[in-house]
Chains A and B, each alone.
With several copies, the nearest count.
Chain A
Amino acid sequence: MSSLDLYQRDLLRAAADASHAGRLPRPDGSATVNNPLCGDKITIDITLAPDNTLSAYTHETEACVLCQASAGLIGSTLEGATATLITETHQAVTQVLEQGSGTLPTQAKGFGIFAAVTDHTARHACVLMPFEALTQAVKDAQAKTGNSS
């Protein structure tokens, strides 16, 4: 039933978006996260601008469509974003998953497709995994550059 909505065209499109796939040659920070339930894996590379905005982002994802879509959307909507916006988006997406709705930052409205995942609690982790990896990668970069917001 709601699986129908789950795999809507926008989601599949976001998952297929290969524009940020791969690895960065010289990342400021990287992180790999895996999902203990299914073994899925995502590796994220980033660079941070001096003002701490996300200047470059790539992901290498061995995972389901939901995780891929989430990783893809991060690329298409959050490259250039401030740390604050990233955190806000992460929180808003979590809320969308838990409650089926939530106020997403304007730039990140695309994540609204994940409202269809609400009832599928086993899949929440799939959507959030890229955010966790991103958060860790940002920490990694800040630790390496000694630059913290």
Chain B
Amino acid sequence: MTSFDPLAFRNHFPAFAAMRDEGRDFHYLDSGASTLVAAPVIAAMADHDTRLRANVHRSVHYWAEQATQAFEAARDTLAAYFGTPRAEIVLTSGTTQALNIIAYGLSDGLQTGDEVLVAADNHHANIVSWQIHAAAKGATITPIALTPLGQIDEDALAAQLTDKVRIVALSHISNVTGWEVDLNKIGSMIRAKAPNAAIIVDGAQSACHWPLFETALPDLPIDFYACSAHKMFGPTGVGMFWGRSDLMENMPPLLGGGEMITNVSFDGTGFAQPPTRFEAGTPPITQAIGFGAAVGFLTGLDHRAIRAHEVTLAATLAATLAAQPPLDTTILGGADFSRDRAPLVSFAITGCHPHDICQLADRSGVAMRGGHHCAQPLMGHFGLLASTRASIAGYNTPDDMDAAINAIKDAINLLKGT
């Protein structure tokens, strides 16, 4: 069915050769936190820092001109990938900064009595930013309830949507369960019932496979979308958001500094148009160029084949864990990976703490993450403090799943054996 070859795909990621050379077992199942970095990304950044290092947007000399063109070309690459106008792409230091810029900018218009609805499956970045900036204006932050599987409860949401709702903050794909929100459906419902609401989508977990959604961002009934390069085979230190220009034009900037102004004086300072308004100071130039290289790399991939491969692995892992007979194992969000779901397998085993499982699995080079995954309200929804997460990317193989399953079994034996 799919011709995708994960072992060939590994050739794009120098980490595998490096770990082989070091003789280190390497079953990287933590791509939901940060993916590995693709070779063209590392090369593009080292090349830029070697040959064209200069500040952007400031000087007219060759190096500055080249750096600016490379930086702006990265913006073009991102705009093409997400199908947006280039002026609607704002480069940031990551999803978190992006969401805070959006929260601050949109909160300017809020007042007491206004409501901000925040999906309870959100990452803290899409919760705390609203608690800080919207609450300062007197708005109420209300969670959107979840179904037992951790998906948005559409009936509950429908009942919450009124004229008073000014913001709805959603996560496109949960970083715990992998469940995907149907943005068309939920967005249309919000547009219909809460016409004053801006819809903000945390895309950190969906951006890596954007072509899967077969739509341009502006064609969705949403207003903002944020993501981070380090979850897209790109560098740390850079991310972006897309926003509708008519909304961005009315948003004050969270960060003041160089480049984002039209003129500065002690009598009053004028702010530049978006996206510049939100890009205060020297941007993460080299990282933006690495981000562009990463998205260039993503653009050439067969995302459908990769997702099919990833989800097959996830389903196997989930099914095997759920079938461990004597154990009380919960797969957060259920074991069904047949549709609308990214390959994140989070699980909890009664009596075995995630940190202990992860630490013991590390013995055999299995890299998983244990904790609340910066999603404490969702953990609370599942009645848990923490879970273990195996997150899967295209370079993972059935061998990685076997290693994970064996490592988890060994850990359980040790932890339960005493």
Q: Determine whether A and B are in direct contact in the complex, meaning some CB atoms lie less than 8 angstroms apart.
A: yes
By a CB distance below 8 angstroms, the chain A residues around B259 are 36
- Set B261, B371, B414: member contacting A7, Cβ < 8 A: B414
Q: Interface-forming stretch among A23-31, A47-55, A116-124? A: A116-124
Task: Give the distance in Å from the alpha carbon of A40 to the alpha carbon of B64 in the complex.
Answer: 19
User: Which of B65, B355, B359 touches A121 (beta carbons < 8 Å)?
Assistant: B65
| A139 / chain B contacts, CB cutoff of 8 Å | none
- Complex contact B385–A40 (CB within 8 A): yes
Decide yes or no whether A146 CB sits under 8 A from chain B.
no
A7-B414, A36-B272 as given contacts; A123 in contact with B355, CB under 8 Å: yes
Q: A3-B362, A6-B359, A120-B359 are in contact. Are A36 and B262 (CB under 8 A)?
A: yes
A63 to B385, CA, bound (A): 9
**Once bound together, how far apart are the Cα atoms of A124 and B68, in whole Å?**
13
* Assembled-state Cα–Cα distance A123/B60 (Å): 7
Contact yes or no, A37 B57, CB < 8 A: yes
Which B residues between 404 and 418 are near A, CB-CB below 8 angstroms?
414-415, 418
Q: Are A122 and B262 in contact (CB under 8 A)?
A: no
Q: Which of B27-79 contact A (CB under 8 A)?
A: 57-60, 64-65, 68-69, 72
> In the assembled complex, how far is the CB of residue A43 from the closest CB belonging to chain B, in whole angstroms?
13
On whether the beta carbons of B356 and A122 are closer than 8 Å, the reply is no
Q: Contact at B353–A65, with CB atoms within 8 Å?
A: yes
* Residue from B353, B385, B386 whose CB has the most chain A CB atoms within 10 Å: B353
Supposing A13-B418, A65-B353, A121-B68 touch, asked if A38 and B372 sit within 8 A by C-beta, the answer is yes
Q: With A34-B263, A122-B60, A123-B60 as given contacts, are A12 and B418 in contact (CB-CB < 8 Å)?
A: yes
- Among candidates B72, B362, B370, B414, residue contacting A38 with C-beta atoms closer than 8 Å: B370
CA A41 to CA B371, docked complex, whole Å: 12
B376 within 8 A of A: yes
Q: Which residues of A contact B370 (CB under 8 A)?
A: 38
- Across the interface, B65 reaches (CB within 8 A) one of A6, A9, A13, A122, namely A122
- Assembly CA distance A7 to B358 (angstroms): 12
Contact B262 A123 (CB under 8 A): no
B360 at the interface (CB under 8 A from A): yes
A1 vs B363: C-alpha distance in the bound complex, in angstroms? 6
Q: Which residues of chain A come closer than 8 Å to B354, judged between CB atoms? A: 38, 64
From A9, A16, A39, A121, B69 is in contact (CB under 8 Å) with: A121
* B379, CB-defined interface residue at 8 Å: yes
Asked if A7 and B360 sit within 8 Å, CB to CB, the answer is yes
Extra inter-chain contacts (16) besides given A7-B414, A39-B386, A121-B72, CB under 8 Å: A3-B363, A6-B359, A16-B418, A34-B263, A36-B259, A37-B57, A38-B370, A39-B263, A40-B385, A64-B353, A64-B354, A120-B65, A122-B57, A122-B64, A122-B65, A126-B355
Name A's B-contacting residues (CB within 8 A).
1, 3-4, 6-7, 9, 12-13, 15-16, 34, 36-41, 62-66, 119-123, 126
Q: 6 smallest A-B Cβ distances: which pairs?
A: A64-B353, A39-B372, A39-B385, A38-B371, A64-B355, A12-B418
Residues on B close to A: CB < 8 A? 57-60, 64-65, 68-69, 72, 259, 261-263, 272, 353-356, 359-360, 362-363, 370-372, 376, 379, 385-386, 414-415, 418
